[in-house]
Structure 1
């Protein structure tokens, strides 16, 4: 059975539960909480890929964080 998209309707621009869960997974991994990220990862990924995904999520989160920090610094200087 195909997975349904959890949004208000087809024209709604809000994010669904899958996207929100993934964003939370990336944030927790980037904050240096690998055990919590592993638990979240087990809910949204196949078990055998979770350890690698946590490392990639950490890198992605740190990259996003550094980009926003650089943009904020550029605005005020």
Structure 2
């Protein structure tokens, strides 16, 4: 997969209510292809807003050490 941009890792913290009604914080991690760390944060925020996710906060975003992601098998 040829990529244009850089991979960034975004960490998102969600607030989820358990069965007892007590709030619990859960982290999820997103891999984002973007031109900048700011744009990576915007992409994650846009996705979560469109999904109507529970209360969330992007708590960090950093450049990933990954250089490529293989998404499909290429037949030879």
TM-score of the two chains, using structure 2 as the length reference: 0.27
Greater share of strand residues, 1 or 2? 2
TM-score of the two chains, using structure 1 as the length reference: 0.27
**Which fold has the larger relative contact order, with Cα–Cα distance below 8 Å and residues 6 or more apart in sequence?**
2
